[in-house]
Structure 1
Amino acid sequence: KVFVYWLGTEPFLYIADAEFLKKMSTEVMAKKWGKPSVFRNDRDPMFGSGLVMVEGNDWVRHRHIVAPAFNPLNLKVYISQY
């Protein structure tokens, strides 16, 4: 469930434990995780300062703006069309 992956000289820790990640994302670390510098450097020109790349309080603000679009009731409208 846990392994380290190297992208060049940058190590990445992967955790495949949903309960642990949920706890870390909502209670313990929340906004403090941040994005690895290797991703910021490579993807910033493509994504800019949108939801994919922002961190901390800016991420929280962006997430609150887009969250209603992913409400199950709103998603049913799109799913029923297929």
Structure 2
Amino acid sequence: MARTPAHYLVHGPSLRRRRMSQGLSVQEAADRAGISRSYLQRLETGTRERMGPKRYIRLRTALNATDEQLSIPPEEPPEER
């Protein structure tokens, strides 16, 4: 049985893009997820990157998103010169 992580890392720009693609303001998304507007703004700006499981799941559900859509993308290999 898989264990729930102690926290989730969230990629701010990806989170913001997902929220905006849903047509939601910061306040609307925060209300749907049951978190404060300032907490969501800190996540989007990268001031805060970690979320506890309960808040993360509520936010992911509110944005109809997958873990991959909200997580830090893998590093891209450097371009060859």
TM range, smaller chain: under 0.3
Report which structure shows greater RCO (CA 8 Å, sep ≥6).
Answer: 2
TM-score by length of 2: 0.25
